[in-house]
Structures are given as C-alpha cells and as structure tokens.
Amino acid sequence: MTQPSIATWASDMIILDRSDQIEPIDPMRSFALDELLCKDAARSKLSICHIWRHPQAFVLGQRDYRLPYAKEAMDWLSSIGYMPMVRNSGGAAVPLDLGVINLSLIFPIVSPSTSFHHDFSRMTQLIREALAPVNTAVDVGEFSGAYCPGDYDMSINGLKFCGIAQRRQLHAFCVHAFVVADKKGSDRASLVRQFYDRAAIGAPEQSYPLVAEASTASLEELLGMGTQAFITSIKECIRAYSSELTTSSLILPDDEQVIEMAGRLRARYETR
C-alpha cells in the first residue's frame, strides 16, 4: 500500500499551538484535551496538530505502572518536583520539561483499512521535513538503550531525539511524539534510569527498558536547533500544504470538560 504524502494528509490540518501555555498544572489535562479533540475529529472530520509543553512532569506507560515499586518511584519523582502520571497511549516512561516538544497529530478515520504503520509514518514525515533545512539523515527504528523504545524511534548520528506512540478511538486516532529539543538528552535518560532503578526492583529485565544515559540527545546538541526553531519549522511545514483553516474552525472543550476527562483518564489508567 502506498504511503500517503504530507500534501495529502495535511491539506486540511489545523494548528493548535499551546506551547506557550506552560503553567505547572496537571499534565493529564493535555492528554485529556487530545482525547476530546479526537472525539470531536470523528464528528467534524477535521485534522489537528496540537503542540504543547509541560514544565516538569514524568509520563509513565501502563507497563511501567505495573512494576513492583512503581508507587514508591512515583513518590520519589514527586519529591524532586516532577508530576507523575500514567498515559492512555502506548509507550514507556518519558520525562517532560520545557525543552521537550509534544506533538499530537489527530485525524478522523476515513477508511477502516488504513494501515497503522502509515499513521506513525505521518509523524516521521512531518518531523523529517521540519528538520530538512538543517539535516536530512534521520534514522527511524527502535533504538537500543533509549528510554521509551519503539519501532518508530527517530535518531541522528546514533542518538535518539524522538519517540512516537499512538492512541486510537473508534472513529479517530492520535499519533503523539515527544521531541527532545533543548538542553542535555543524557540528563533525561539519567532521570528515567533512576526511575526504573527504584520501580523495577525484583522485576525481570525484559519487563522494562534498560536505559543508557548516552543514548539520547537534544536537537540543540545534535543540530543547533532549539525549541522555538523546531516549533516554527513544524508550523511552516504544515502551512506549506494546508488551506487557510484556523483554530476558529475548532470547537474547543472548556476547562470543566478537560478537567472532567483528565479525572476519567486518571481513574481508568492509574488503578492498580
């Protein structure tokens, strides 16, 4: 099956840039907003690029949350200023801070037969094109020793800078990427390793990633391209293909709806 081009899937995409809204609120709210936007995409048939950051959070995968001492490790994270949460998409533990860009590509499902591999590839296409002005050699594939390993890890010169996960609903789906943009990637890898050192005591090694500090780097370290430059390039790539749709075309949920959905997600995914 031929992979759809950016020109095909970004032609009606709306950009929702919340990267400057960085209050230290519950990190689950951004995932809750994605969930609600996904539900609305099924109705509106609009596709969305949601860009966001969080000042200091630690997002666990569901397997992480089942590790023997996950609760104690989450308490430790809280004690050093990180807000822990369990996400509703795939993947493993990821630290968030203002140097990590979160991209959510949200699409209505127009054909049930569409390959989920193509869904992931939309994100890798977009990020590759955003980096093309400064680099063209981006590798895609699971990267040994990195945190949140997956088949669609993105790396440059043998160092991972991006991981991708997916969340599917009945009539829409969301592909989510975290992009390490600023400061040291090794510091984030060290934090994840310390989490597993505490959470995985007594667990078999195959039940959690074995994280190496030297596996991860930021775009700033790799390419001299920091947070704002990357966000600008992502938006320019989409605008090169999209029509004149604006956020006014979206029906955004209000704060009460987002808070209520965040509570529902937390009750569903943080129940041991």
Positions marked active-site: 148
DSSP state of 217: -
Q: Comparing C-alpha atoms, which of 177, 186, 175, 192 is closest to residue 222? A: 186
- Tokens for 102, please give them: 């979160």
DSSP state of 136: -
Secondary structure element (H or E) that encloses residue 17, with its range:
strand 13-18
* Amino acid occupying residue 167: R
Q: What is the CA radius of gyration of the chain?
A: 18
Residues facing residue 176 across a β-bridge = 104, 165
Maximum Cα–Cα distance across the chain: 55
